[in-house]
Structure 1
Amino acid sequence: MTVQDLAIAKIQHLPTELAQEVSDFIDFLMLKQDNQRWEQWTQFSESLTISESDFSDYLKNLEDYEEKLVRGEIQW
């Protein structure tokens, strides 16, 4: 039996939800093999992370910076 045959046999015994996860992972592995698509995916992924990031730390740092400016601890 080949590795592919063994994998298929194992997948056939999985519940549907887990088989879907395996299918998604296979799609991911195939995507990684295509250099152009993988580069696009990593750029998209980085952009998504930035767009979904929480700006609370940024705002807190900005407020701290503004307060230091007001107190004269730092200059513009």
Structure 2
Amino acid sequence: MPTYFIIKELNDQYTWKDFEMTDLVYDYAVDVLNIPEECIDFIDVSIKSKKVEITIIEDNTYINEDWYYCLLQYSE
């Protein structure tokens, strides 16, 4: 079960410059990627490398969730 994801292209009219503000990357994960707050373990953004790294808590019940299925395209 993948729990680590790298997003290299942004959706929903976000730009990399938007992430210069501290918590906006967390809002992106919750609002755009639909990851429930309680499932997020760690988020890191690299504006220079243009990537968002997200680690979620390992829980096999996520496998049946739509948000998890959508995240699989970003698994490394």
Q: Shorter-chain TM-score category?
A: under 0.3
Structure 1 length-normalised TM: 0.25
Greater gyration radius:
1
Give the helix-richer structure, 1 or 2.
Answer: 1
Give the strand-richer structure, 1 or 2.
Answer: 2
